[in-house]
Chains A and B, each alone.
Chain A
Amino acid sequence: MKCVVPGVNLKVFGRAIHSLAKIGDEVYFEPLEQGLSLRTVNSSRSAYACFLFFPSYFQHYDDGSREDEAGRNSEEEEEGLRCKITVKSIMAVFRSLSTIEKTVEKCKISHNAREARLVFELHCRHGIVKTHNLAYIECETLQAIFSKDMCPNKLSAPSKLFCDVVVNFQTTQEEITLTVRPESLSLKNYVEDEPDPNKVVHTELNLAPEEFDLYQVGVDTDITFCLKELRAILAFGETTGLPININFESAGRPVTFCIDSDQTFEANFVLATLADVDQSSSQMPASQRSQQAASTSQHHAKHAANSKQHKAKDVSVKKESKRKESTKTDRHRDQELNRNQPQPSSSAANDVDNMADISAEEFAAAMEAEEDWETEEQTENNPQDRITDQQTLQGAETDDTTQKEGRVTETNTSPGETKRKEGRVTETDTNLQGGWLGKSLHEEREVEEEEGEEEEGRNRGGLKLNGAEGRSSSSPVIPVQCPSSGKSSLLLFADEDIWSKPKREGPCLQPLDDDDNDDLDETIPGTPPAKKFRSLFFGSSQKASQSTQPQQNNTVLAAETDEED
């Protein structure tokens, strides 16, 4: 293996080494046919970096795969060198980048198989040659599995933008939360459970989509990842002056930062994101959040009154979907879509579109799927409402069951909307809906459906009312005043039906609640589901980052803030 890096490219090469050094303790060195790859992973395996320098980057590149390599060590060469070098060793070679830039004319990297050393020869000015023989450890290929293309959210901006952003955060700040919505992006410092959040500095920075070269938000989400590693990435990005492409999905899923210069090199950094601890599953939170986000956006778009109902649905849908994974949603969605044509027509549907084309559709579909009885009309209920509900629901996610219920109902009322919002959800296992709840929901649903449309005008409250009224008869529903997003509680109830129904198959509501029922039953059989939801709602809402879940409006809700079933 032998390659020669010309002096002009050494700066980037050296910078790459420096950023790898900041992330991990060892640099995995592997000359491949498509180029020289340098990779590292951090000690907790939560950050992975990979640099691939294409042969065009080098003055001369030979990965040693050819057999006729001077005949010697052909076996080793053929096999391909896979080794790792400690960061200390390689930094000894590239320590002073300014000196390297000024004095080094070229750098020759070769493999001395006989002595098992990786040889770095820096040919400097004035006839000086610095040769470093570094010991290495043979190892297996380090490879992270990630998919950039599958991510619904993509951002692209010059590195300088992000550099300017991170400069505003304290140097001791460990983690940062990136929140995306179709209309804005914000970065906040992540504060772990602090006894007194008011004593801690909170930093928040908002960016408009116009600042980005590419701003594609498929799923409203917020992800939390390590700032230190981001700084290392930006340190590299800044020197190259190339744009950074960020691909991510939702909390709990990795975020990928890519910097590539078409012909010469490609850098990929994968960071793990914090999974929402509120959610029962790591997937959940993200989905739920996104759902909420989705709903929120729709909400904004619509400002329709019935949002509440819809929201609840949406929320539930979201939650479910989160759990379920988007695949289910897709399935449902398809089903739903087929069933609920009208969705698009409904305002909610439109709203969805505002948010994120795909996600909205997905949600819509999901919601549709969930609701067997689609209430097309309901869709109009303001997806927004749904969103809020969803959000609230999310808060309450802890109780899947309850949420589901709520969600289910929601969907019923505004099938289109709910579906839309979440996109992924819909499927959710709304098994929750315990039987009883489901039934009541059904009833309510019907009621709601009728009223759903009327409710449009009302925020959440509308739904609430419907639900309440309807429910009161069938199941106790605690009227939740969710002016903006609070609705969820009620919605939750409403959603239950939805959830139970669609669950996976879609249309019919079945008592999905295998587990949910249990949960429900646990609380207090016969306890108004609202109560349960409420607690769920509150509990989770506190955690939910963006959603305006706290339905402080509801007196009822206030009671059980901490309860999380």
Chain B
Amino acid sequence: MPGKMLSTQQADDDSANVFVAKLDNARNVSNILKAIHFKDTATVFVTSQGLKVTVEDAKCVQANAFIQAAVFHHFVLTQDQATFKVNLSVLIECLTIFGSGAGGSTAAASLKMCYAGYGSPLVLMLEEDGVLTDCSLKTLEPDEVLDFDFCSTNVINKIIMKSECLKEVFNELDTSSDILQILMSPDAPFLQLSTFGNAGSTHSSFSKESDMVEAFQCTQTQSNRYKMQLLRPSSKALALSARISIRTDARGFLSLQYMIRNDDGQVCFVEFFCAPDEEMEEPDH
């Protein structure tokens, strides 16, 4: 209904909308969101810097996708910030309504997002090849997101490396293992990912001399265990990324940061936080 669309559009541009963003290629957003799509709902934080979409699981793992304002060619926010919770599965489906565009050759869908403030739906408008799609997603009350309190000052070990070598390793990790052990050390074996499964134990070691490693800053030897099923979703982000940064802090919390380049060459970041698997010292069940 073009007429209605036009009127809506004009209305959008009015102050009715707290947030309006437009970009030419919806895939730039949908791909990033797919990388953190391991839960149905996500919390969206809109700030002047851009969008931050957060997904959490079991209060132990948190994934954040950062889409900078620069990715959009039109980004207007009338408030300081807007926060809402939305169904991520539906959002991704709407964004990819014209097809996931794996081929990439066809024209990309252009996207316009509007949000009129607390209680209003998130409105998406997608257009591709003259076909217009209008989506209205109900927003939910945003929950408190975990704050892992992971600041740079607490970081003990940090390694930045290229993603390609890690991709294979991650894909071949023994699925029969419950946990993934990450050892980071200034001495050999520097970085080691270990699994303990039915077949036996498997260790993948990365030398710091390797040309895959871009930065290696490890101050002490640390070995932490994380539940495999919490880290599994990160492999999606790893697959899309070009570089990865692995950091652990004094508590053993893990921070994985992925640098993803989208179709237009713009850079977005996805971040995973994971709490370590603690050995139960006293069985106080």
Interface residues of A (CB under 8 A from B): 86, 88-90, 92, 95-96, 99, 103, 117, 124, 126-135
Contacts and interface: CB of A to CB of B under 8 A. Distances in A.
Given A88-B198, A92-B202, A135-B199, A127 B174 contact: no
Interface string B150-180: 0000000000000001001100101000000
A127 B212 CA distance: 8
Nearest to A136: B200
30 contacts: A88-B199, A92-B174, A96-B168, A96-B172, A117-B200, A126-B206, A126-B210, A126-B211, A127-B206, A127-B209, A127-B210, A127-B211, A128-B206, A128-B210, A128-B212, A129-B204, A129-B205, A129-B207, A130-B169, A130-B202, A131-B202, A131-B204, A131-B205, A132-B199, A132-B201, A132-B203, A133-B201, A133-B203, A134-B200, A135-B200
B199 A127 contact: no
A84 to B, nearest CB: 13
Given A126-B210, A128-B207, A128-B210, A103 B200 contact: no
A129 B210 CA distance: 11
Contacts of A96: 168, 172
B24 to A, nearest CB: 37
A133 B200 contact: yes
Interface residues of B, number: 21
Contact of A103 (B168, B202, B205, B210): B168
Contacts of A117: 200
Interface string B205-243: 111011110000000000000000000000000000000
B197 to A, nearest CB: 8
Contacts of B198: 88-89
B235 to A, nearest CB: 15
Contacts of B189: 129
Contacts of B201: 132-133
A350 to B, nearest CB: 63
Nearest to B174: A92
Contacts of A133: 200-203
Q: Chain B CB within 10 Å — which of A88, A89, A92, A135 has the most?
A: A92
B26 to A, nearest CB: 33
Q: Chain A CB within 10 Å — which of B172, B189, B197 has the most?
A: B172
Contact of B200 (A89, A95, A130): A89
B202 A99 contact: no
A131 B199 contact: no
B203 A92 contact: no
A96 B204 CA distance: 15
Contacts of A86: 199
A153 B122 CA distance: 78
Nearest to B173: A92
Contact of B172 (A89, A95, A129): A95
A133 B204 CA distance: 11
Contacts of A124: 165
A426 to B, nearest CB: 56
Contacts of A132: 199-203
Contacts of B168: 96, 99, 103
Contacts of A130: 169, 202-205
Q: Chain A CB within 10 Å — which of B168, B172, B200, B207 has the most?
A: B200
B199 A128 contact: no
A86 B169 CA distance: 22
Given A95-B172, A130-B169, A89 B199 contact: yes
Given A117-B200, A130-B204, A133-B200, 19 more contacts: A88-B198, A92-B199, A95-B172, A103-B168, A126-B165, A127-B209, A127-B211, A128-B169, A128-B204, A128-B207, A129-B189, A129-B203, A129-B204, A129-B205, A130-B203, A131-B202, A133-B203, A134-B199, A135-B200
A478 B189 CA distance: 88
Contact of A126 (B172, B174, B199, B212): B212
Nearest to A96: B172
A126 B167 CA distance: 14
A132 B205 CA distance: 11
A117 B201 CA distance: 9
A132 B204 CA distance: 9
A277 B207 CA distance: 63
A92 B201 CA distance: 11
Nearest to B203: A131
Q: Chain A CB within 10 Å — which of B174, B197, B202 has the most?
A: B202
Closest 6 CB pairs of A and B: A127-B210, A89-B199, A127-B207, A134-B200, A131-B203, A129-B205
Nearest to A124: B165
Contacts of A128: 165, 169, 204-207, 210, 212
A103 B210 CA distance: 14
Contacts of A135: 199-200
A297 B137 CA distance: 82
Contacts of B202: 92, 130-133
Interface in B244-277: none
B207 to A, nearest CB: 4
Contacts of A99: 168, 172
Contacts of B207: 127-129
Nearest to B189: A129
A129 B168 CA distance: 13
B194 to A, nearest CB: 9
A192 to B, nearest CB: 37
A124 B164 CA distance: 13
Contacts of A95: 172
Contacts of A103: 168
A92 B199 CA distance: 8
B148 to A, nearest CB: 29
Nearest to A135: B200
B36 to A, nearest CB: 27
Contacts of B205: 128-131
A219 to B, nearest CB: 46
A241 B178 CA distance: 41
A127 B210 CA distance: 5
A481 to B, nearest CB: 67
A389 to B, nearest CB: 60
Contacts of B209: 127
Q: Chain B CB within 10 Å — which of A86, A95, A124 has the most?
A: A124
A132 B169 CA distance: 13
Contacts of B211: 126-127
Nearest to B208: A127
